Each structure stands twice: as C-alpha cells, then as structure tokens.
Amino acid sequence: MTTSPSTAADGGTTVSDSGSAGDSKRASRAAFVGTLLEYYDFSLYASAASVVFGSVFFSGASPFLATLQAVGTFAVGFLVRPIGGVVLGSLGDRIGRKKILVFTLVMMGAATMLVGLLPGYSQIGWLAPALLVLLRILQGIGASAEYGGATLVAVEFAPQRRRGLLGSLPGAGASIGGVLGTSALLGVSAALPEEAFMSWGWRLPFLLSGLILLYGLSLRARLPETPAFRHIEESNDKTTSPVLDVIRRQPRAILSVLVMVFGQAGLGYFYLVFMLTFGRNQLGMGQTDILIGLVLAQLSCAAFIPLFGMLSDRVGRRPVIIAGFVFSALLAFPAFWLVGHDGGTAAFWLVLVLGNGVGVAAIFGPMGAYVTELFETRHAFSGLGLGRELGNALGAALVPVLAVQLAFNDGGSTAALSILLVAISVAGVAAAWVSVSRTTRARDGAERAESSSEVAA
C-alpha cells in the first residue's frame, strides 16, 4: 500500500515517501542501468572519434581536418542536450516519467547500435559523415533527459530516509559506464590486429550496447509510474506549460541548479579531459599511464558517489555538496604542486582520484536527490532539463577549453589553472548556499503558520 505525497507550502507536492519496496528497487536498477548505457555510449563515441572516425567517416579530408571533423561530431551531442532536455522534460511533466525514460533509453541505445552498422566514407561517400552527425544528434537528445529523468524516478520512488543514496545511483552508473565505454574499445583494439580493428573490430563495442539496452528496457517496461506523478494526475495538479511554469515560479531553483551543475561538470571534465592533455603535453607521460589514471578517477568516483549520497541522508544534501566544492578549492593549488615536483605517475593518479573521485563525487552524490527536491513535482522534469543540461553543456564545453588556453598562455605556470578551479568552486558554493529545497520551504511554511496561529490565539 502506498501513501500520497503531502502538500508542500509552496503549492507543489513533496516527493512520495512510500512507493513499494519492490518498485523502489526496480526504479533504482532501471535508473542505474540507463545512465550506465548513456555514459557508455558517450565515452565510447569520444574514444572512437579520436582514433577511428577520422579515417572511416572523413577519409576524403586531410588528416587534420578529418580529426577535427570527427571530434566536432562529439561536441554536437552536447550542443543539442539543452534543447532536448527542455522538450523531453516538458513531456515528462505532462505525460509521465516512465514513457519518457523508455523513449530516451531506446533512442540512445538504437543510435549507438546504428553507428556500429553505419557504412564508411568509402562505401557511401558524404552520406557517411552526414548520417554519423544525425546519429550523434539523436544520442544527444536521448541523453538530454536520461540522467535527469532517471534521477527523478529513483528519488520519487525512494523512501524519505534513502533518497540521497538511491538518487546517487544514476551518478555511479555514469562513472561506471564511462569506464566500460573506454575499456571496451581499448580491449577490442588490443585483441585484434590494427587492420582488422580499423576495418570492423571497432564496431563490436557499439553493437554490444544492444545488450545493455535490452536489459534496461526490460526493467523500465515493467516499472509503474512514480507515486508523485500519479498524485498530481489524481489531484489534477498538472500544468499545461511546465517550462513556462517553472521559469515563472522557480527561477532561483533553475539558476541554482545551472550553476551547481556547471561547477560539478566543469570540475569533472577538467580532471577527465584537460588533465589528460596536461599529463601528455606538460608532464610528458605515456598514453597507458594516462588512461590508467582516467580509469582510476572514474572508478573511484563510482565508489564514492553512493557513499556521499548516503551521507547526505544523515547530515543533509547541501552541507555535503558545499563540502565537495570547498574540498575542490582547497585541492586546486596542492594538486599542481604534487604533479609539478617530480611526483611522477603516482602523484598524477592521486590528483585524479582526489579531484574527480572525492571532490566531484561529493558534489555529484547528493546532487541527484537535491536538485529533485528543489522543484515542485508538477514541473520537476522541466526544471531539471532546463537547469541541468544548460549547466552540463557549459561546464563540459567551456572549462576544458579555457583550461587549455590558460595552460599555454601563462608561460608554463599553473597558478591560473588553480585559480580557475577555485573560481568554479566558489560559484558552486554560492549556488548551493542560496538554494532552498521544497522540504525546507515546507518546514518554514509550517513554522510560519504555527507562529501565526499562536499570535492569533
């Protein structure tokens, strides 16, 4: 038996504290597998864009232009995510979470499998890169609502005392998916001769995503609609324009989510993208050592995310998120001191683990439950799609590029890079500090009502 969500002071509803234990477990697995598939696909595509796509899909161009075009198709996936997040988030608030999550999973998985089946430039000419870009756009649209929707479903099914833990599982799935995507391509590359790998072997990891898709689809197809969404349907509390509604009613929540996610994504991609380039160019490290560091950073993040999510169930979401940003700021200068004073490979790995595995994980772990709790249920999906995807796109696109500029324009000094990390962290702390969750608003509203009744008496 389930209980209905209570009405919050702001006119929204609080997240249900009851969906059945079985539904909660299925929702958690479905959320975890979906984000694992999303980041498996994104990581796999990024790796393939660097080593395969230039020669397979852009072979008519010069080597430099072919590489640039191949990497450019990876960026397209991020550019369309804010648009997809708004459109699909709005639909999720109007027709239900489950339908959108099934749709995004199918779109993401099907697009990835089709990349593995796509003929190269030598077979169909210019259609090959054109179709590759189209499939990348579909991947981006599918991914745009995947993480936010998966988190929303996990939290709306979760008991109150476990929202932080269960809401963190999509983040853990993202980290593991990233490791699997990179590892799958590296494994096939190591197992096959180069000619066979470039001819057909690289396609195998893309086709393998079909197995994850089928498993995830079997979980999501059996999942009922969330208790919170059923409640707003039964109470006729749905809005016909959720995007406009959330912009008008909760602009501070949107801005807070945008800046917090910008900080989390910016710090994450600084360590997972820029630091790999820094290790190769500035530190002279080998490719194998750099990739080992990448795997260690992602695995440590996957391990710590649920722990920080669980901690947020005990001490609160906001304190843990702020602690993650503060830790990231404090690490900024020592990190480059460690890697710059002949610390060797071990120091480089330690910095990646501390920066991404601890700092980013402390932010990412509670973030799933917290950003869900910031928005009213009737437009929560739209708020997440708008705030999170804009912040994610800006953090992923701007921070690594800015870091490269600072690294090469500062005469070899790392002070500017450290200042960049501190600035991102300070912005994240400020956004978390001014944000107010529905739980807090409901409690404050109840306290004000109680105080008013006492005065009247």
**What domains are defined for the chain?**
18-238 (1.20.1250.20), 242-452 (1.20.1250.20)
pLDDT tens digits for range 273-315: 788 778 877 788 877 788 788 889 999 999 999 999 999 999 9
303 vs 31 pLDDT, higher one? 303
Would you state the pLDDT for residue 418?
93
DSSP code per residue over 5-44: PPBPTTSSBPPPS-S-HHHHHHHHHHHHHHHHHHHHHHHH
Q: Which of 397, 162, 89 is nearest to 269 (CA)?
A: 397
Q: Quick one: 409 exposed, middle or buried, by C-beta within 10 A (0-12, 13-18, 19+)?
A: exposed
| pTM, full prediction | 0.82
- Report DSSP letters for 144-179, one per residue: HHHHHHHHHHHHHHS-GGGHHHHHHHHHHHHHHHHH
319 within 8 A of 263, measured Cβ to Cβ: no
Answer whether residue 10 shows pLDDT above 80: no
Instruction: Name the nearest CA neighbour of 387 among 206, 228, 216, 252.
Output: 252
Among 190, 54, 207, which residue's Cα sits nearest to residue 120? 54
Q: What is the pLDDT of residues 98-137, one digit of tens each?
A: 888 889 888 888 988 999 999 988 888 888 888 988 888 8
The SS3 call for residue 235 is: coil
How far is Cα 165 from Cα 159, in angstroms, rounded to an integer? 10
Residue in the structure block whose two tokens are 């991947």: 139
pLDDT in tens, 177-233: 888 988 888 888 888 898 898 889 999 999 988 888 888 888 888 888 888 888 888
